[in-house]
Amino acid sequence: MTALAESQRSRPLLEVLALELASREGRWAAVARIATGSAITVVIAMVFQIPQPTYMAYIVFLISKDERNATVTAALGASVAVTLAILLTLGLEIIDTSEPALRLPLMAMATFAAMFTARTFALGPISYLAGFIIVLLQSVVDDVPSPETLTRLTLWTWVVVCVPIAVTVIVNLLFGQSAVAFMDRSVRKVLKEWETSLANGDYRNSLPEWRAQLLPLLEIAQHGSKKGARAGRLTVPVIRALLDALVIFEALPDDLPDDLREDLASRLRACRQAIESDSPPLQFVGASNEQVPAVIAVRSALSGLLSAISRPVTSPEKTEAHHPPRRLFVPDAFSNAAHWQFALKTTMAVMISYAIYTLLDWPGMRTAIVTCFFVALSSLGETVHKLLLRLSGAVIGGLIAGLCIVFVLPHLTDIGQLCLLIFGVSVGAAWVATSSELLSYAGMQIAFAFFLGILQGYAPATDLTVLRDRVAGILLGNIVITIVFSSFWPQSARSGIRTALAEALRAIGDVIRGPRNAEEARMRTVQALVRADHMRTLSLFELRMLPSHARESLNVPSVANIERLAGAAFVVATDAISPIDETGSTARLAEWAESAADNVSRGRPVPPSPAPIARARLNLHAIEQLESEVQHVASAVH
């Protein structure tokens, strides 16, 4: 029943594709930067005859981010990773080049370490990329005629990675958008869509999507605040106020009157215009006799948002106070079996793929190893989702490459024409790659498969067997990773939903309890709700691949019900609603939330809701709504 309720929130495939591929402000500029970087990288590779131009062009897609600060950070991390990987690989080649019995265990150990630290280590992305490069270089030992050639190939790898990184950084520093511009565009887009949807009455289904879009901006704003006062109006309090309002909107009744929807839409319009204008924003005026607590809380939240826009934060200490120091490893790094199980499953998939194409004497299928590294994710739903994107992207990109080899490349006569072809196809692939996480990986795979087919050497590609082998490797890797992840310790995305909802319930309990650390509790609630909704979407990709007993043991509360519960809790905690202390009522509900969180985290049904108490005052009406949502959550899973 829960799964059916959640699936009703899903959109048809064509509607999702239309939304993901629609034009938006700044998208053409991002696509142009990626395509230009890829074309320039191919020119450099062809002129200087650098090995592996395929990977060079693809790295541009991997490194390019939404704003230039993130791009530079990713570039620095990749540079450190490849340098570390080259040094370690040179050391390993001294001892295992002629000893397969030693090389294979070392490959397995490198894979395990890379995947384990990717989930548990603070510098996980660097160790992951370093491990991937080590394993990939170790896998080519059998195909290299001499140790000297192997050493040269290893050293060239540093150039293969660092040249596209340098090109991407330069292009983004010259033409990339700043963090402030990126935040401005993202917030204005959300406010515009929010205003339109509210006027049309279909805003509720989009609230989780808007929270997911705004939450990453909070980290960007916090990072910028550490460097002092930021330009523009989008400060940490503004992003927090936006996220607060998006949760409080969950508590609104479904049948809002037209005049109320228009009033709230006009307030959102005023907030958007205040961000766009350099003049001080006007405050909302006019009293209201509204007696619905959720409506009062929404109006109060939007007034707080407008006030936050009008007073930028200038003291970074204020935004840093709630951040605990970062640890080297996650708290459950060595106690949670899921971490080593994930690393072991990926290691098995990599080594099985390596054994298959080696025993078949089919080295062109080495892309199977690449597939295993990039498709492996925590849950089966995430893995299947990425698998489908990689398969569809590989088929589309391979088809484009095949058609170009047969009909286009024979007519090309110089490197300039090749660059035009690379640029044109990269524009299409980058357009898909700049979609949300739901679709973006397909665009990267279109580019990768196309580059694999077209960039076979320093002359026009004429051999379709190379393209066939590489696409076959992608298929092999997808098949192996699916079998391994569905057979050994299958981890459902629904277990991720359960964990996220348990965290949300604990945070909701802290919100209900009162003002102490209320802001932190609100943000923890938002973060947990975003994770839960993301895992809910991924769980739809699992279909019936899990054993029946595993599916039956993963019954969890509806994400939509917890979102409405969070909205009611935020309403109760709003200053405009709770001037009168009701410690007894809120304490009971907070204790229930804590108990429900413990039960959900252990896979048990949530406890029955506490008995309601008759009330009459305004803030007590808000508590009644909260009690109603608690009863709804409790009854839905019994």
Mapping DSSP to helix (H, G, I), strand (E, B) and coil, where does residue 207 land? helix
- Count of structural domains within the chain: 3
Reported confidence tier of residue 580, pLDDT bands at 50, 70, 90: very low
CB burial of residue 78 (10 Å; 0-12, 13-18, 19+): buried
Query: Do 220 and 274 share a structural domain?
Result: yes
Q: In the prediction, which pLDDT does 339 show? A: 86
Mapping DSSP to helix (H, G, I), strand (E, B) and coil, where does residue 329 land? strand
Query: Do 45 and 89 share a structural domain?
Result: yes
Which of 54, 39, 75 lies closest to 172 in space, CA to CA? 75
**More reliable by pLDDT, 28 or 624:** 28
Query: Do 431 and 509 share a structural domain?
Result: no
CA 66-499-532 angle, 5° bins: 45
Task: Indicate whether 14 belongs to any domain.
Answer: no
pLDDT tops 50 at residue 316: no
Kindly report, residue by residue over 342-352, the tens digit of the pLDDT: 899 999 999 99
Per the structure block, which two tokens stand in for 19?
């939304």
pLDDT tops 80 at residue 566: yes
Q: In the prediction, which pLDDT does 396 show? A: 93
Q: In the prediction, which pLDDT does 465 show? A: 84
Q: Give mean pLDDT, residues 571-597.
A: 71
433, 459, 487 - which closes a domain = 487
If you average pLDDT over every residue of the chain, what do you get?
82
Query: Do 201 and 294 share a structural domain?
Result: yes
Q: In the prediction, which pLDDT does 294 show? A: 83
E strand or H helix that includes residue 604: none
Which of 107, 99, 100 lies closest to 137 in space, CA to CA? 107
User: What is the length of the chain?
Assistant: 638
Q: In the prediction, which pLDDT does 578 show? A: 56
pTM over 0.95: no
Reported confidence tier of residue 178, pLDDT bands at 50, 70, 90: confident
Query: Do 137 and 194 share a structural domain?
Result: no
Which of 555, 77, 574 lies closest to 294 in space, CA to CA? 574
Task: Kindly write down the DSSP assignment for every residue of 423-483, as one continuous string.
Answer: HHHHHHHHHHHTS-TTTHHHHHHHHHHHHHHH-SSSS----HHHHHHHHHHHHHHHHHHHH
Q: Lowest-pLDDT range, 17-26, 69-78, 179-188, 545-554?
A: 545-554
Q: In the prediction, which pLDDT does 6 show? A: 42
Angle between helix 124-139 and 68-96 (nearest 10): 40
pLDDT tops 80 at residue 638: no
Q: Which residues span the domain enclosing 257?
A: 179-280+290-315
Task: Indicate whether 4 belongs to any domain.
Answer: no
Contact 60, 440 (CB under 8 A): no
pLDDT tops 90 at residue 429: yes
Contact 302, 499 (CB under 8 A): no
428, 460, 487 - which closes a domain = 487
Reported confidence tier of residue 324, pLDDT bands at 50, 70, 90: low
E strand or H helix that includes residue 511: helix 493-513
Q: In the prediction, which pLDDT does 520 show? A: 86
- The rounded distance, in Å, linking the Cα atoms of 175 and 169 is 10
Per the structure block, which two tokens stand in for 465?
């067997």
Reported confidence tier of residue 544, pLDDT bands at 50, 70, 90: low
Beta bridge partners of residue 329, listed in sequence order = 121
Which of 51, 260, 217, 61 lies closest to 140 in space, CA to CA? 51
Task: Indicate whether 15 belongs to any domain.
Answer: no
**More reliable by pLDDT, 461 or 566:** 566
Residues 6+ apart with CB under 8 A from 456: 463, 466
Task: Indicate whether 13 belongs to any domain.
Answer: no
pLDDT tops 50 at residue 616: no
Contact 198, 245 (CB under 8 A): no
Q: What percent of the chain has pLDDT over 70?
A: 83
Query: Do 352 and 476 share a structural domain?
Result: yes
Query: Do 295 and 156 share a structural domain?
Result: no
Task: Indicate whether 257 belongs to any domain.
Answer: yes
487, 504, 528 - which closes a domain = 487
Reported confidence tier of residue 4, pLDDT bands at 50, 70, 90: very low
Task: Indicate whether 97 belongs to any domain.
Answer: yes
Query: Do 370 and 504 share a structural domain?
Result: no
Q: In the prediction, which pLDDT does 219 show? A: 84
Query: Do 162 and 113 share a structural domain?
Result: yes
CB burial of residue 465 (10 Å; 0-12, 13-18, 19+): exposed
Separation of CA 42 from chain center: 29
Query: Do 187 and 168 share a structural domain?
Result: no
Q: Give mean pLDDT, residues 485-495.
A: 79
Q: In the prediction, which pLDDT does 308 show? A: 85
Query: Do 168 and 196 share a structural domain?
Result: no
CB count, 10 Å around CB of 332?
11
Q: In the prediction, which pLDDT does 579 show? A: 45
- The rounded distance, in Å, linking the Cα atoms of 8 and 10 is 5
Contact 366, 397 (CB under 8 A): no
**More reliable by pLDDT, 148 or 636:** 148
Task: Indicate whether 263 belongs to any domain.
Answer: yes
Query: Do 467 and 434 share a structural domain?
Result: yes
Task: Indicate whether 50 belongs to any domain.
Answer: yes
**More reliable by pLDDT, 166 or 578:** 166
